Structure 1
């Protein structure tokens, strides 16, 4: 009877909650996790957050010592041999470009630069500047050699921008670490733009409750949902923009035209993996509802807030 009572007492112990955060990739990465052993739970969460720091050092285009910056410096002059991780990530980016008809494109660095988004305050470029930047853009100018893991730029002046893939990839890697550590449930949040819900929190079998903010009023939300072994990424014109006259120019660049995309306030994409959800937000934002209905991969979901004077928000049917 004593053994049974002791076992029941242990079984009745409430799950342990652990929260922590770190600044990386220009955002705050936070994790809320539940488990049965505080020491193991804390170790898993801190390891996952250290992964965000590591990927910031790997993928930053602001850190001259990062592998991403090394590619930008040397790939036009004979090529750069990269790590397997970098090679696999760049190969995935090319696949996303092909699947999205070129509207996902990590070679938009020259466009981001000429529009002033790397300086923190945007500007409308002269047409000649825009033409020159467009000539240095295009994922087909990015060449990968499988046997040697070499990255080459076919055009001098090509510049890779990690903004459309970095956080989603980090969230995916962090989720893998937590899952392999046996964490019962966790919510990973990368500054609100990419999230992943691992399993469920205690007493909520639907998953982790998250909201999609109103793109016009930050204090309000336009949808709420539950993430259970699913990722959500959001791209919005409110994230980074400047205004010239009455027109808003966001950082979400249409690589086909060289201009910031218009006609949308925000797009949220839900997918099994963080890298997929983030990669598909930009094409959905740029191409719009009808295109997304035909091209979004099976099993993905999308919530769009279209710019029709007022924000018209609805799930993709």
Structure 2
């Protein structure tokens, strides 16, 4: 195993660093008020890990003198954001309240939730609908990833089609309200929520004087500063073999080295339903109401804006290899690695030479890889 620090992407569980991290130390008030002082970085970071927002969240801080107080602020922020964004059976969150009033009345939400919904709406439209936050009615019907998941009747599936439409999201900036035009519509933050929350946590840590850190939200890693384990400061990200039965000990397809700071993976088998020999992904074709059929196993989006990259990792996956590759190659601000079902790896043209293939049962067919 490599002894350098790397992160596993494509796994459905917590990303695991190759180096062990120490527990956070107590941060003094004097230290907290002096972010302008030159940072002293450690080889072994302080570590905090817990389950929040429906996934395992891990934060690593490399700045000496930081730690527990920063983690406590982050834990509080995570709890507050989850209370606003998560979709609960009890109907407690702000998005739950928006969904409950679909087709009835606009709902006033907090500033941060309104900002999230604006982002949901924006990326749905700029991705030509390949990312669609109103897909909630379909995900709730199939409930893939839960013990009661099953194939719904054709009648129920067809009934969802007219409730999935990004044009039916109405935002009122002046009154800070969100309205879904049709009863039964469900808006959800899946596909952008982790990136959005990750970005908020990064802002908070930076404001507290943290200069080097990693925020990992179950398959999505976001960084501050440079990797202290490399002279060039680049981060190394392990892309796991995105196959059924994957665990944290699954072999890596390869390692991506990048100066970017945001790494997001959408995986076909992130959640799935298997009936006989047929596997249904948790990702949906909004035109049919059925789980999407794709030539891809995973897409890893590499950029510098967490929620932007999170949204597009989903959009690119839904586009499929050909459309997805054309799309990403038109944008200089992010890169991507595509892994296909026939065990081939395609690398966008902006990052040749930065992907090292480790699993030789896969083949790099586009892009330059180290042998």
TM-score, with normalisation over the residues of structure 2? 0.76
User: 178-187 or 100-109, which moves further after superposition?
Assistant: 178-187
1:48 aligns with 2:74: yes
Q: What are the equivalent positions in structure 2 for 1:144-223 lying under 5 Å apart?
A: 144-191=171-218, 193-204=219-230, 205-216=232-243, 217-218=246-247, 219-223=250-254
Structure 1 residue 122: deviation in Å?
Answer: 2.5
**Corresponding residue for 1:292?**
324
| 1:234 and 1:266 in contact (8 A); partners too | yes
Structure 2 unpaired stretches of 5+: 1-37, 350-371
Greater helix share, structure number: 1
User: Deviations for 1:223-259, whole angstroms, at most 9, x for unmatched residues?
Assistant: 2124545111111122110112322101011223222
**Corresponding residue for 1:30?**
58
- Write out the 4+ residue segments of structure 1 that deviate beyond 6 Å after TM superposition: none
User: Deviations for 1:193-226, whole angstroms, at most 9, x for unmatched residues?
Assistant: 2111211243423333221101125411112124
User: 129-138 or 13-22, which moves further after superposition?
Assistant: 13-22
TM-score, with normalisation over the residues of structure 1? 0.88
| 2:260 and 2:303 in contact (8 A); partners too | no
Question: What SS does the aligned partner of 1:144 have?
Answer: strand
User: Deviations for 1:18-41, whole angstroms, at most 9, x for unmatched residues?
Assistant: 11112112211001111132xx34
**Corresponding residue for 2:302?**
270
Following the alignment from structure 1 to structure 2, what is the Cα–Cα distance between the partners of residues 229 and 50?
Answer: 28
Structure 1 residue 106: deviation in Å?
Answer: 0.9
Structure 1 residue 115: deviation in Å?
Answer: 1.6
Root mean square deviation of aligned Cα: 2.0
**Structure 1 pair 226–206 and aligned structure 2 pair: CA distance change class (3 A):** farther
Answer 1 or 2: higher relative contact order, Cα 8 Å, separation at least 6: 2
Following the alignment from structure 1 to structure 2, what is the Cα–Cα distance between the partners of residues 201 and 295?
Answer: 29
Following the alignment from structure 1 to structure 2, what is the Cα–Cα distance between the partners of residues 299 and 224?
Answer: 20
**Corresponding residue for 1:131?**
158
The partner residue of 2:283 within 252, 256, 260 is: 252
User: Deviations for 1:68-91, whole angstroms, at most 9, x for unmatched residues?
Assistant: 111111242121111121112111
Following the alignment from structure 1 to structure 2, what is the Cα–Cα distance between the partners of residues 195 and 14?
Answer: 20
User: 283-292 or 221-230, which moves further after superposition?
Assistant: 221-230
| 2:87 and 2:188 in contact (8 A); partners too | yes
Following the alignment from structure 1 to structure 2, what is the Cα–Cα distance between the partners of residues 99 and 230?
Answer: 22
User: 97-106 or 219-228, which moves further after superposition?
Assistant: 219-228
The partner residue of 1:230 within 261, 275, 290 is: 261
